[in-house]
Structure formats: C-alpha cells, structure tokens
Structure 1
Amino acid sequence: MHRRTFLLSSVAACVPSLAFAYPSQDFSPAVWRDLRETDRVVILNYRASWSLTCQIKADLIAEAIAENPAYGELTFVDVNWDTFGQSQLTERLKVERRSTLLVMKNGKEVARLVNEPYARQVRALLDTALAA
C-alpha cells in the first residue's frame, strides 16, 4: 500500500460518521426553562463535536429511532460540553463529563447513561424514557 493511500484511509476512518442524525434541538437556558415545566420526557445529551464516543452515541440513537419510531417521540436536547460543561445546570445535575445522557421529566432526573457507547445500553435508556 502506498503511504499516501494509507494516510488518506486512516484519516477517513477517524472522521465522525454523518450517516445518521436524530431530531434534536440545541440547549439554551430558555429552551430548558420551557421544557422542564412540561410533562414531556427530555433527553439531555451532553456532547462535544470532537468526541468520538459522543458521535457513536448519536449514531446509536439515530439507529434506534429508525428501528423504533416511538423513540422519535422523545425530546432530545444536545448540550454542548464545550459551552455548558462548567455551567450551573451541569454542576446541579452532577454531570462530570461529556458523553452523558440524562432522561429528565418535570425537571427531575429519571435515568442516566455515562460513557457507554453500546447499542444495548442506549436502547435500554430510551426504553426507560418511554416508560417514564
């Protein structure tokens, strides 16, 4: 294999997958203020654009929604770790790292998944969210 071909294929393997997407909105204090007062189940996805684990989780969520449309009825909010990782909300919720999924209802935590980029765990969390 030529060195140039090897380098290009290595870089391509490191680029996050863009094949899947799920319906979400970006976090802002106003969005959270509006959502926490409702009976809707909200999944806060603490993620960073540069994190491979976060991208894998996003792809797993999208795959799960494609297979079970009921998951698409949940409200997903992406919380940018680089912007809100040190925020009061993050401290109050005791989120210590990116790649954290929180299931919230009426402003209270129902379930949490931290740094587990595995389909079985993500689907279990989504099932818990549907049952909340």
Structure 2
Amino acid sequence: MNRRDVMILGGSALLLAGRASASNIDYVPGLVDERLAAGETLFVDFFAPWCGTCRTQERHVEALRAENPAYDQTMTFIRVDWDTYGRGDLAQRLQIPRRSTLVVLRGEQELGRIVAGTRRADIETLMNLGLS
C-alpha cells in the first residue's frame, strides 16, 4: 500500500467516524420493530428524494440536530424512501398518508407526527417530544 492509499483510507475512516453519531439509517423491513423492541426512540422520516417539502424538512431537521446534540444521543433517525416503501407494511400500519411525513415513536406509542409541515418551530417541537 502506498502513501496515497493510506491517506485516502485514513480520511475515509475519519469521515465515517464523524458521520456515525449524526447519521440517518436507511429503512429496511423490520428495522423499526427491531429498534423499538430494543427500547430506542425513533424519528422516522417518510421522504422522497424528488420532494421539495421533504428537502425543506430535512434542512430543518439537520440544522436542529447540529445545534442540539441531545437529539442524536436520544433518538435514532430512520429515513423511509417513499418510492420504495410508501405502500409497504410500515406505512400502512402507521397510517402514513403521504411522503413528507415525520413521526416520533417510542415503544408502542406514537409521540407525534407532522404531515407535509415545513415550519422549523413545528419540527423542533416534534423532535423535542423524543427528548422526554
């Protein structure tokens, strides 16, 4: 391995280490049930990559997470791709009406949700439900 390869690998490891604490987990079937059974509080984002409302929500969520590390210490952030899983079991079970729906879950309870809302204050209020 030459010096360039070592530098690239080292830099990649640092990037991954920095992202691990504040990253989103991409949904796969069974993930939500598994994490809830483990006692985690979940912030579940039903999004579509082409959705403008979803992008606005994401900007607010990411800014709030950057400002308050307690969100990442308290909640697991899961992104559910609407195009892939919008008609799936999870969306049906939670009665998710559309993309751009944000839901906070703990145990058997839904603590709150926002459907197509983009006000930063509303998103912060939702996220704060996961802190208590």
Q: Same fold (TM over 0.5)?
A: yes
Equivalence for 2:59? 59
How far apart are residue 32 of structure 1 and its match? Answer: 2.1
Question: What secondary structure does 1:29 align onto?
Answer: coil
Question: What secondary structure does 1:78 align onto?
Answer: strand
Within 5 Å, which residues of 2 pair with 1:1-132?
Answer: 23-73=23-73, 74-131=75-132
- Normalising by structure 2, report the TM-score: 0.79
How far apart are residue 78 of structure 1 and its match? Answer: 0.2
User: How far apart are the structure 2 equivalents of 1:85 and 1:30?
Assistant: 15
Q: Give CA deviations for 1:84-106 in whole Å, capped at 9, x if unaligned.
A: 11112211111010000110111
Give unmatched runs, 5+ long, in structure 2: 1-18
Q: Give CA deviations for 1:42-85 in whole Å, capped at 9, x if unaligned.
A: 01100000001101111101100111111122100000000111
User: How far apart are the structure 1 equivalents of 2:32 and 2:78?
Assistant: 9
How far apart are residue 107 of structure 1 and its match? Answer: 4.0
> Residues 37 and 107 of structure 1 are in contact (CA less than 8 Å); yes or no, is this contact kept in structure 2?
no
Q: Give CA deviations for 1:12-64 in whole Å, capped at 9, x if unaligned.
A: xxxxxxxxx95210001132232120221101100000001101111101100
Aligned residues with identical type, % of pairs:
30
Runs of 4+ deviating beyond 4 Å: none
- Normalising by structure 1, report the TM-score: 0.79
- What is the count of residue pairs matched by the alignment? 111
79 and 97 in structure 1: CA distance in 2 versus 1, 3 angstrom threshold: same
